[in-house]
Amino acid sequence: MLVRLLATFFAKDTTMIRVLLSISLLFASGSTLIGQTPTAESFGQTAAGEPVEIYTLRSEQGLVAKVMTRGATLVNLLVPDRDGKVADVIFGFDNVAGYESDRNSYFGCTTGRVCNRIAKGKFTLEGKEYSLAINNEPNHLHGGQSRSLDKVIWKARPYTNERGQGVEFSYTSPDGEEGYPGNLNVKVQYFVAKARNNLTVRYIATTDKATPVNLTNHAYFNLAGQGNGTILEHTLKLNADRYTPTDDTLIPTGDIKSVEGTALDFRKPTKIGKRIKEVTATAALGYDHNFVLNPKTDDRPLNQAAVLTEPSSGRRLQISTTEPGIQFYSGNFLTGAVGKGGKSYIHRGALCLETQHYPDSINHPEFPNTVLKPGEKFNSQTLYSFGTN
């Protein structure tokens, strides 16, 4: 009511109206206020009858993130543009049924035990060969078919501190689940900074038997707003001089090559649509490549991986991480499925920037190690920082 009265008072001040509308959206999008511990709200239930909860995290600067217990999934990410107008910048669905349907292309989920591909679904560890589901013929993709981390229900522990609000999701993947060895205890922490439009995602895991682990978030971004055109006008900069070439099934050959002189050179800010035709006729059908991040040059804990900007809104996303690689995927398999608010998710309507170890690392000893052993702790962190140009 107060916002409506103020909007009437400032009826001729369009800038003030935009600010007031942003404030209204901030407080209308959930029941938890800044500074309070997030509370659970129902997001429905799975087809098997399992209840699913969703939590809302907020910053004082206008960012709103919603995360759910199915798949420890990022469902909404509302971010202001240069004029203060808030829009949801990631793909997803309005209910659990959408996430359980064949329309879901891993939108916003926690991906693993091993994200990306494992060649022919096989690896050998400590003298034993393991066989995994072939769900991306002829390879294994994103942790499996029915009990991969994106499809299970996680336990949630919301919290708040002087720096902001968070939710810690936890799940124990039992020995043999989806063919992987060891009981894997996994935690995923989503945290929104109080004073900045920052979202931090941290992954922690321990095991009682040696097992490969490679975790990421599979958010699909369109900084103009979800369902609002393609990402071809977005500008991307990657802190990567090299990439890992792949065969025709998108499995790394083991080589590491320079991006110089190729369509994969994003060392300077480059419009995504500028050279995408050069990779459209390849097996990747566009951009679907792992980039080798350049080493850190300072003492900060995170390494800058990518900067993504969108001209019409002015939104800017900077990604920093502890991971050695980042997968840039240009939404090549999006086909117009209906998502949140009835929006159509068209071909190349969003992109993914997945921080990770390299694909199929378990079968490439020359790549950074992905094997977690008993007594060790997997610890990975990625920061998504939003601003405007």
- Tokens standing for 250? 């998108």
Calculate the CA dihedral of residues 128, 250, 289, 204 and round it to 10 degrees.
Answer: -30
Distance CA 335, CA 225 (A): 18
- Tokens standing for 316? 């800017």
Q: Specify which residues 321 forms β-bridges with.
A: 303, 382
For the stretch 137-177, pLDDT in tens is 999 999 999 999 999 999 999 999 999 999 999 999 999 99
Which residue type, as a one-letter code, is found at position 155?
K
Give kind and range of the element (H or E) at residue 205: strand 198-207
Calculate the CA dihedral of residues 343, 345, 350, 354 and round it to 10 degrees.
Answer: 110
Instruction: Look at domain 33-388 and name its CATH class.
Output: mainly beta
Does the pLDDT of residue 2 top 50, yes or no? no
- If you average pLDDT over every residue of the chain, what do you get? 93
Does the pLDDT of residue 356 top 80, yes or no? yes
Residues with catalytic roles: 218, 354
pLDDT at 34: 75
Which residue type, as a one-letter code, is found at position 223?
L
Only one residue has tokens 């916002």, namely: 3
Provide CATH 2.70.98.10 ranges for the chain.
33-388
Residues across the chain: 389
pLDDT at 342: 97
Question: What percent of the chain shows pLDDT beyond 70?
Answer: 92
Cα distance from N-terminal residue to C-terminal residue, the chain: 32
Does the pLDDT of residue 20 top 50, yes or no? no
Return the closest-CA partner of residue 216 out of 130, 86, 305.
305
Assign 252 to helix, strand or coil: strand
